[in-house]
C-alpha cells in the first residue's frame, strides 16, 4: 500500500466517521437533554462495561485479520487470505455468543457490584449488540486487509443511522416509565444499530463474492496453512492487541467503580454522584470523542499499510507512512484540544441547553481539563497502530498499562478531595494518555529509526492551532453581548475553523498530497501552487 493509498483509505473512513459522529451528536445531544445528568449517568454506568466486554470479544481480531490478510495478499496467496477470514469469523461468532450470554445471565449482579442497580435496564438492552458486533467485526477486518475501506465506512453509517433513530424513539417512548427504563431504551438503540450494521456487511460480502472467488482462483500455489496454525497466528496478534485495547475500557470501568464510591465517601448522595458522573462521561467525554473520528480512521489504515511495507522490508515506505500518520494526527489533535479548552463552557451551554447554569459551569470545567487529553489520545491511537503494523503489539500494551496504573492512583486520590471531586478523574485520564503517548513515541522512533522534524510535525500545527484558538476566544467575547452566547459560540467555531485552514496553508503545514485526498483537491492544489501559497508535493 503506497502512502497516497493509505491516506485515501484513511480519508474514506474519516468521511464516514464524520457522518457517523454527526449522527452520533444528533443522538447523544438530544439524548442528554432528554435524560438529563441523572438519566445519562445510568446509561454511562452500563456503557463502559459493555465496551469492555465488546473489546475482549472483538478488538484484536479485526486488526489481526487485516494484518494477516494484507500480508498474504502481498505474496498473492489469496486463498490463504480468505481462509484466515473464515477461521476468524467462526471464532468471533463464538466469542459474541459467549459474551452476550454472560451479560444476560449476570446483568443484575454486575450493576449491583458497581453500586448503581438502576443501570440494569441500560445493560441488559445491550445484550444483542454483544452478539452481532463481533460478526460485523470479522467482515470489516477482512475488507480492511484487502485495503478496501468502503464496506467498513458504509456499515458504520448504517449502524449509526439505525442506532440514532431507534434509540431516540424508544427512549422518548419509555420516558414516562422512569429514567432507568428510558436509559435502557437508549442502550437498545445500540443493539438495533449492531444488527443492521452486521446485515449490511453480510450483503456487501455476498455482492463481492464473485470477485473474491475470481481472485482466489488466481492465487499462487502456496502451501495451505492448517486451521490450528491460523488460529495461533491470529491469537498471537489479537491477544496483546485485545489486552491493550481493553485497558481503556478497564480504566473507564475503574472510573465507574472508584468515582461513585469516592464521591459517596466525601458526602455526595447517590443521585448527586450519578449526576456528576453523567457530566464527566455523558456530556464532557462525548465531546472529547468527536475528534477521534479522523484519528481512528488513520489508525485503521495504518495497520495494513505498515504491515504490508514491513512484509516487503520497505523501510523507506515505513518511515514515510509513519511520519505522515504522526503529522496528520497532530493536525487533528492540537486544534481540537485548544478549541475545546477555549470554548469549553460556551460549547456545553450550546449543546446541552437543558442543563442549569451550575451544571454548565461544572461540566465546562471538566471539559476544559479533558480537552488536553485529545492530543495524547489521538497520538496513542496512531502510534499503537504503527507498532501493531511493525509486529510489536505488546509495546503499546505495556505503555498504556503504565499510564492506567497512574490513572487509578490519581483517580482515587484526587476524586476523594471535595473541592476537586469528579474533575480528579479527568486529570487522571489526561495524565494516563500523556505517559502512554511519550512512551509510544519513543518506541516508534526506536523501531523505525525515524527522524522527526519538530518544526514541521509539531511547531507549525501548534502555531496554527494557537492562532485559531485566539480567534475563537476574541470572536466569542466580542459578539456575546451583541448576538447572545449561543450564536456567538457558533460564529466563533466557524471563524476559528476558517482561520485554522488559512494558517495551515500560510505556515506550510498542508502539502499538495494532502489536498489530493479531497474531491477535486488536485485542482485547488494546482491553483494554490500557481499562487506560490502551497508547498509542492514531495516525498518525506
* Residue 539 pLDDT: 41
Residue 47: pLDDT band with limits 50, 70, 90: confident
Q: What integer pLDDT is reported at residue 505 of this predicted model?
A: 81
**Which position has the higher pLDDT, 328 or 527?**
328
Quick check: is 302 in a domain? yes
Structural domain includes residue 517: no
Query: Is-contact 248 59, C-beta < 8 A?
Result: no
pLDDT at residue 184 is higher than 90: no
* Residue partners of 435: CB distance under 8 A and separation at least 6: 399, 402, 403, 406
pLDDT at residue 61 is higher than 90 = no
Instruction: Specify the pLDDT at position 165.
Output: 85
Tell me if 521 is assigned to some domain: no
pLDDT exceeds 80 at position 134: yes
More confident of the two residues 6 and 536? 536
Backbone angles phi, psi at 429, to 5 degrees: -65, -45
pTM of the model: 0.68
462 lies in a domain? Answer: no
Average pLDDT, the chain: 81
Higher pLDDT, 36 or 21: 36
Question: In this predicted structure, what is the pLDDT of residue 5?
Answer: 52
pLDDT in tens, 236-267: 878 776 776 676 677 777 777 788 788 888 88
- Comparing 30-44, 168-182, 448-462, the range with the smallest average pLDDT is 30-44
Q: Would you place residue 469 in the very low, low, confident or very high pLDDT band (cuts 50, 70, 90)? A: very high
245 closest CA partner among 384, 110, 425, 98: 384
Q: What gap in Å lies between CA 34 and CA 41, rounded to an integer?
A: 12
Residue 517 pLDDT > 50: no
**pLDDT (0 to 100) of residue 280:** 83
CB 476 within 8 A of CB 464: no
Stretch 367-384: mean pLDDT, rounded?
91
Give domain status of residue 537, yes or no.
no
In the predicted structure, residue 538 carries a pLDDT above the cut 60: no
pLDDT score recorded for residue 518: 47
Select the more confidently predicted residue: 454 or 386.
386
Do 273 and 114 contact (CB within 8 A), yes or no? no
Task: Catalogue the long-range contacts made by 392-395 (C-beta closer than 8 Å, 24 or more residues apart).
Answer: 392/443, 392/447, 393/237, 393/240, 393/241, 393/244, 394/240, 395/440, 395/443
Residue 369 is predicted with a pLDDT of: 93
- Within-domain flag for 341: yes
Domain count within the chain? 1
pLDDT at position 491 is: 94
Q: Band of the pLDDT at 10, cuts 50, 70, 90?
A: low
Burial class (CB within 10 angstroms; exposed 0-12, middle 13-18, buried 19+) of 227: exposed
Range of the domain at 448: 3-452
The residue behind cell 465507574 is 256
Place of cell 507498532: 387
* 356 Cβ neighbours under 8 A, 6+ residues apart: none
Residue 349 located in a structural domain? yes
What is the average pLDDT across 495-502?
91
Question: pLDDT category, 227, cuts 50, 70, 90?
Answer: confident
**Residue 501 forms part of a structural domain:** no
- Vertex 36: Cα angle to 428 and 108 (nearest 5): 75
Residue 434: band (very low, low, confident or very high) from pLDDT cuts 50, 70, 90: very high
Higher model confidence: residue 457 or residue 415?
A: 415
Q: Report pLDDT for 321.
A: 81
- Higher-pLDDT residue of 46 and 66 is 66
Candidate from 37-46, 138-147, 254-263, 483-492 with smallest mean pLDDT: 37-46
Distance between CA 393 and CA 60 in Å, rounded? 10
Beta bridge partners of 511: 535
Which of 128-137, 217-226, 528-537 shows the highest mean pLDDT?
A: 128-137
Range scoring the smallest mean pLDDT among 209-218, 337-346, 410-419: 209-218
Amino acid at each position: 500500500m503506497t502512502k497516497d493509498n493509505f491516506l485515501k483509505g484513511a480519508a474514506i473512513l474519516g468521511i464516514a466517521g464524520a457522518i457517523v459522529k454527526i449522527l452520533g451528536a444528533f443522538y447523544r445531544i438530544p439524548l442528554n437533554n432528554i435524560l438529563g445528568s441523572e438519566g445519562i449517568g445510568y446509561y454511562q454506568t452500563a456503557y463502559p462495561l459493555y465496551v469492555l466486554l465488546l473489546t475482549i470479544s472483538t478488538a484484536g481480531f479485526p486488526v489481526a485479520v487485516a494484518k494477516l490478510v494484507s500480508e498474504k495478499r502481498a505474496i498473492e496467496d489469496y486463498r490463504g487470505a480468505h481462509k484466515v477470514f473464515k477461521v476468524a469469523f467462526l471464532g468471533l461468532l463464538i466469542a459474541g455468543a459467549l459474551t452476550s450470554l454472560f451479560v444476560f445471565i449476570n446483568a443484575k449482579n454486575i450493576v449491583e457490584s458497581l453500586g448503581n442497580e438502576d443501570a440494569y435496564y441500560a445493560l441488559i438492552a445491550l445484550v444483542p449488540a454483544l452478539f452481532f458486533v463481533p460478526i460485523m467485526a470479522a467482515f470489516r477486518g477482512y475488507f480492511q486487509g484487502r485495503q478496501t475501506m468502503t464496506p467498513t465506512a458504509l456499515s458504520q453509517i448504517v449502524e449509526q443511522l439505525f442506532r440514532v433513530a431507534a434509540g431516540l424513539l424508544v427512549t422518548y417512548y419509555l420516558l414516562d416509565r422512569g429514567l432507568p427504563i428510558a436509559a435502557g431504551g437508549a442502550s437498545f438503540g445500540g443493539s438495533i444499530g449492531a444488527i443492521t450494521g452486521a446485515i449490511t456487511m453480510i450483503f456487501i460480502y455476498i455482492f463481492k463474492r464473485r470477485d473474491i472467488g475470481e481472485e482466489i482462483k488466481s492465487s499462487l500455489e502456496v502451501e495451505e496453512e492448517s486451521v490450528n496454525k491460523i488460529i495461533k497466528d491470529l491469537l498471537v496478534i489479537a491477544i496483546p492487541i485485545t489486552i491493550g485495547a481493553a485497558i481503556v475500557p478497564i480504566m473507564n470501568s475503574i472510573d465507574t467503580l472508584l468515582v461513585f464510591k469516592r464521591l459517596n465517601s466525601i458526602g455526595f448522595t447517590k443521585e448527586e454522584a450519578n449526576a456528576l458522573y453523567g457530566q464527566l462521561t455523558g456530556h464532557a467525554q462525548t465531546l472529547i470523542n468527536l475528534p477521534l473520528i479522523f484519528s481512528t480512521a488513520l489508525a485503521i489504515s495504518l495497520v495494513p499499510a505498515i504491515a504490508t511495507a514491513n512484509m516487503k522490508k520497505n523501510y523507506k515506505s515505513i518511515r514515510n507512512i509513519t511520519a505522515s500518520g504522526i503529522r496528520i494526527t497532530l493536525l487533528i489533535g492540537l486544534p481540537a484540544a485548544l478549541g475545546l479548552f477555549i470554548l469549553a463552557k460556551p460549547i456545553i451551554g450550546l449543546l446541552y441547553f437543558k442543563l442549569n447554569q451550575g451544571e454548565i459551569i461544572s461540566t465546562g470545567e471538566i471539559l476544559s481539563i479533558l480537552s488536553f487529553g485529545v492530543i495524547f489520545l489521538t497520538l496513542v491511537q496512531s502510534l499503537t497502530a504503527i507498532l501493531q503494523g511493525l509486529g510489536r503489539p505488546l509495546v503499546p500494551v505495556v505503555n498504556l498499562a503504565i499510564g492506567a496504573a497512574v490513572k487509578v492512583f490519581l483517580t482515587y486520590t484526587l476524586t476523594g478531595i471535595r473541592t476537586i471531586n469528579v474533575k480528579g478523574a479527568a486529570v487522571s485520564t489526561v495524565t494516563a494518555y500523556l505517559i502512554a503517548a511519550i512512551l509510544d513515541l519513543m518506541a516508534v522512533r526506536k523501531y523505525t529509526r525515524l527522524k522527526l522534524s519538530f518544526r514541521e510535525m509539531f511547531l507549525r500545527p501548534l502555531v496554527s492551532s494557537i492562532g485559531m484558538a485566539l480567534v475563537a476566544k476574541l470572536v466569542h467575547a466580542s459578539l456575546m453581548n451583541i448576538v447572545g452566547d449561543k450564536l456567538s459560540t457558533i460564529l466563533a467555531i466557524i471563524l476559528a475553523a476558517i482561520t485554522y485552514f488559512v494558517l495551515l496553508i500560510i505556515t506550510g503545514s498542508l502539502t499538495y498530497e494532502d489536498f489530493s485526498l479531497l474531491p477535486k483537491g488536485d485542482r485547488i492544489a494546482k491553483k494554490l501552487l500557481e499562487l506560490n501559497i502551497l508547498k509542492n508535493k514531495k516525498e518525506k
